[in-house]
Structures are given as structure tokens and as C-alpha cells.
């Protein structure tokens, strides 16, 4: 099993290219099941989750080819479709549940295992299945598999009012509705950039959709969809993560492909902490001046609020800020598992339920720590960059699910970081 060793101290300078969004790409890939024509995705990230989704789609009868060193994905579902998504693949990743809507829409039936993913709290499928039931699907849970069947062989349009703005359910039902008979309205829909990206791709394939980026999306079902070529939106979580590197270490780094509109709430918090973010012709530049970072309070919220996927990384920054910060986690329970590891590095953090209070310390100290999930693993690397001495982050396989070439990207701006094999 690999570890990453980080030696702290020193400022950062240079450019980091930001990949396409993992969460957008994982949503776009199942859209190939909606059409017999090819779907080509540009700017794809090169991650283990993308490989897992490729395997899942191939097991369902789709063709998937990675071109240009994995940056381009060519997908096609022109052959016969297998409608059973097996546990062995689905268990590896939560996004696997996004094949349910497309399979039901195209074939009228599907059997999909309940998914896995990071252990960051309960993320039930009810909101997906309830919505599909409103569209005329009969769904039974048997032996850990969802058995779904569209009455009359085709889903029907419906007005679906989500109990909360679920990203996954918005994506699944938007795809399902593209081939349903009649009009579907998704109320209290999620507004994330990844959903906007999916809708733009579906529209390029011939879907009739409007309202993306707002809380109400309207889909007029069509008989068939065609092919498309689509560029995956910038990964705002990777962007935010690397924006924090110069914020923590000092210096100036330009994030190529970055946009403030993807992370407005996060940029506001950086500004309040004394970190300067400016737009450049190629992306975003982040600079930390000579002074200390100031404490800020953070509350996670659905888009356009502060992303839960940047909470752990933000905590790493606030460990050495002047003053006391309060972080409230409103999206997922059990998402402060990085706090005990940061405490091992000398941080002063108290966790009570969904709230963490962080008192800034002068310096963090390098220590052996363990990654507990994807975002926690990168927060420990960021903390290591600011710490005195050497930090060894174990169990970094989590990292490979969400960040491509971390060592390369941080090394090229001056970080002292290497990946070692423990075997």
C-alpha cells in the first residue's frame, strides 16, 4: 500500500492545470446508455473512479475507449444492453447508481445493486426510487438489488418535488426523463455546475431540457437521442483544493482553467481569511501575502454555498490561522474524521456533533497520519506542506479516486512531496 511523504516549509510558485470534474464525468458517462450513437467526452480526469465507471458500463454492453492518455473518453452503446449492474462493480463507487435512470429509460427495466463509496454517512437511494416510481416504475429491493420495471415498458413524465436538493437524484431522473413519454418537471432540483454540465451534454444529444442551474428543471421527453462531443467542466473541488496550497504555504500559484463562478462562496471565505484570488486570462491566481491567515467561520451548504467537499481542506488552512474558527458540517454526518489526524500534527480542534472549533496554532508538526476518506487524505497533505518536518500520509488509495497526479502537480510548484510504496 502506498503512502505520501510531505516535507513542510517553503512557499509555492508556478502553475497547476485543473482536470475535468470527476463528479461531472461520472454523471456524463452513463448518458451513453441513452443513445445508440457515440458520446465523446473531452477533458476527462484520469482517476480510478472513472476506470470503475468504464468497467461498469462495459459490463452493461457499452464500448468505452480511453484516448489521448485518458483525457478523451469515447463511449458507445449501440450493441445489445445488459440491464443488470452487478454488486462486485457497483459496491466500489456510489456514482454507480446513475445507471439506473438511463437503463430504465432505454430498456424499460433494470436490476442495479445498491452502491458503495466513501464512508461519510448515510446516503439512501429512496429519493431516486421514489422519483422513478412517480414516473411509473415499479421498484422492489431484493437481496441488495433494486429490481425496477417501467409499467407498459416506458417511463412517463411526472412532476417530482424532491424533499431536498439531491445532486444524484436530480442527475438520475433528468437522464431518465429525456426518453420518458410526456413532460417531467423536477422541483427543488440541485443547482450544481456538474448538473448544468450534464444538461448541456444531454441537450447536445437532442434532449429537450431547460432550467438547469435553477431549482426547477423541465424535460420534454423525446423518442431517441443522438451522439455528441462534450467537454467536461473544470473540477471545482480539485480547483479549491489547489487554491488552498499557496494559501497554506504562502507564495503565488495560478490554477489553469479555474473560474470564480464555480466557487464563489469559497472564494469569499478565502478573501475574508486574507488570501487574494484574482481572475487571469488562463484561470485564477491565488496569493497569500506576508501576514497570517485570519480565522473565518464556515458552514457547508448545497451549491452555491460552501462545498462540503472542501471542508476538510479548509480546516487544514484554519489550523494555523490567527484566532478561532467554527466549521459547521450541514451536508454529511461523520465528516470530521480528519480532525483526530490533524490533532496528531499539533492542531487544536474540538468536535461536537456537526461542529468543529479550530483554534489557530503557530505551527503544525509533521507526523505519521492516516487518510480516512478522499477529501481527508488531501487535507492531510495540505497540512503537511505547512508543517515543520516530515508528514507521512498512509492509505492514500482514497486519493486516487479523486485527484490525478497529486505529487506531480504539487511538485511542479515547489512542494517537497513524494509517493512511496510501503510493500
Query: Cα 226 to chain center, whole Å?
Result: 27
- Which residues neighbour 342 within 8 Å (Cβ) at sequence distance 6 or greater? 315, 316, 319, 349, 364, 369, 379, 380, 383
Calculate mean pLDDT across residues 97-108: 96
Return the pLDDT at 268: 98
The mean of the pLDDT values for the chain is: 94
Strand ranges (E), 289-387: 298-299, 324-328, 348-352, 355-359, 368-370
Return the pLDDT at 114: 84
Residue 124 has pLDDT above 80, yes or no: no
Return the pLDDT at 368: 97
Return the pLDDT at 344: 97
- State pLDDT tens for residues 260-271: 999 999 999 999
Return the pLDDT at 402: 80
- Helix, strand counts (H, E) of the chain: 13, 24
Residue 119 has pLDDT above 50, yes or no: no
Residue 389 has pLDDT above 50, yes or no: yes
Return the pLDDT at 120: 41
Higher-pLDDT residue of 400 and 29 is 29
Q: Angle at Cα 412 formed by Cα 377 and Cα 1, nearest 5°?
A: 35
Calculate mean pLDDT across residues 196-223: 98
The label of the residue with cell 487518510 reads 371
Instruction: Provide the annotated active-site residues.
Output: 118
Return the pLDDT at 116: 56
Burial letters 259-289, b for 16+ CB under 10 A, else e? beebbebbbebbeebbbebeeeeebbbbebe
Grid cell, residue 316, equals 487544514
Return the pLDDT at 361: 97
Question: Domain boundaries in the chain?
Answer: 2-19+234-421, 22-231
Return the pLDDT at 48: 87
- State pLDDT tens for residues 298-354: 999 989 999 999 999 999 999 999 999 999 999 887 789 999 999 999 999 999 999
Which CATH code, of 3.60.21.10, 3.90.1150.10, 3.30.930.10, 3.65.10.10, is assigned to 22-231? Answer: 3.65.10.10
- State pLDDT tens for residues 26-48: 999 999 999 999 999 999 999 88
CATH fold for the domain made of 2-19+234-421: UDP-n-acetylglucosamine1-carboxyvinyl-transferase; Chain (3.65.10)
Return the pLDDT at 276: 97
Listing DSSP states for 251-292 in one string gives EEEEEET--GGGSHHHHHHHHHHTEEEEEETTEEEEEE-SSP
Calculate mean pLDDT across residues 53-58: 97
Fold equal for 2-19+234-421 and 22-231? yes
Residue 203 has pLDDT above 90, yes or no: yes
Calculate mean pLDDT across residues 37-64: 95
pLDDT > 70: what percent of the chain? Answer: 98
Using the 8-state DSSP alphabet, how is residue 233 labeled?
P
Return the pLDDT at 122: 47
Amino acid at each position: 500500500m502506498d503512502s505520501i511523504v510531505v516535507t513542510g516549509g517553503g512557499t509555492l510558485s508556478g502553475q497547476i492545470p485543473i482536470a475535468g470534474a470527476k463528479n461531472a464525468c461520472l454523471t456524463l458517462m452513463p448518458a451513453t446508455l441513452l443513445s445508440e450513437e457515440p458520446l465523446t467526452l473531452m477533458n476527462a480526469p484520469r482517476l480510478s473512479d472513472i476506470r470503475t465507471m468504464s468497467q461498469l458500463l462495459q459490463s452493461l454492453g457499452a464500448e468505452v475507449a480511453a484516448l489521448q492518455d485518458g483525457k478523451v473518453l469515447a463511449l458507445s452503446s449501440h450493441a445489445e444492453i445488459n440491464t443488470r449492474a452487478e454488486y462486485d462493480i457497483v459496491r466500489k463507487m456510489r456514482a454507480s447508481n446513475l445507471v439506473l435512470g438511463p437503463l430504465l429509460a432505454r430498456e424499460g427495466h433494470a436490476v442495479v445493486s445498491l452502491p458503495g463509496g466513501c464512508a461519510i454517512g448515510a446516503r439512501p437511494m429512496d429519493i431516486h426510487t421514489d422519483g422513478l416510481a412517480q414516473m411509473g416504475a415499479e421498484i422492489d429491493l431484493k437481496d441488495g438489488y433494486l429490481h425496477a420495471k417501467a409499467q407498459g415498458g416506458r417511463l412517463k413524465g411526472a412532476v417530482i418535488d424532491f424533499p431536498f436538493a439531491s445532486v444524484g437524484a436530480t442527475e438520475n431522473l433528468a437522464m431518465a426523463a429525456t426518453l420518458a413519454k410526456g413532460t417531467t418537471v423536477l422541483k427543488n432540483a440541485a443547482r450544481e455546475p456538474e448538473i448544468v454540465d450534464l444538461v448541456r451534454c444531454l441537450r447536445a444529444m437532442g434532449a429537450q431540457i431547460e432550467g438547469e442551474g435553477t431549482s426547477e428543471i423541465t424535460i420534454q421527453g423525446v423518442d431517441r437521442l443522438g451522439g455528441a462531443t462534450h467537454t467536461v467542466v473544470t473540477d471545482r473541488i480539485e480547483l479549491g483544493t489547489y487554491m488552498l496550497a499557496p494559501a497554506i504555504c504562502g507564495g503565488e500559484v495560478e490554477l489553469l482553467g479555474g473560474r470564480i463562478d464555480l466557487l464563489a462562496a469559497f472564494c469569499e471565505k478565502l478573501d475574508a481569511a486574507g488570501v487574494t484570488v484574482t481572475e487571469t486570462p488562463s484561470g485564477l491566481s491565488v496569493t497569500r501575502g506576508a501576514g497570517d491567515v485570519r480565522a473565518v467561520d464556515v458552514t457547508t451548504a448545497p451549491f452555491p454555498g460552501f462545498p462540503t467537499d472542501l471542508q476538510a481542506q479548509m480546516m487544514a488552512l484554519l489550523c494555523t490561522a490567527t484566532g478561532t474558527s467554527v466549521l459547521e458540517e450541514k451536508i454529511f454526518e461523520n465528516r470530521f474524521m480528519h480532525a483526530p489526524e490533524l490533532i496528531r500534527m499539533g492542531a487544536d480542534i474540538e468536535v461536537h456533533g456537526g461542529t468543529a472549533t479550530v483554534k489557530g496554532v503557530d505551527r503544525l508538526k509533521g507526523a505519521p497520519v492516516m487518510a480516512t476518506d478522499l477529501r481527508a487524505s488531501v487535507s492531510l497533505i495540505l497540512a503537511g506542506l505547512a508543517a515543520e518536518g516530515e508528514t507521512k500520509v498512509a492509505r492514500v488509495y482514497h486519493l486516487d479516486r479523486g485527484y490525478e497526479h497529486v505529487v506531480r502537480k504539487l511538485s511542479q510548484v515547489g512542494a517537497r512531496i513524494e509517493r512511496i510504496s510501503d510493500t
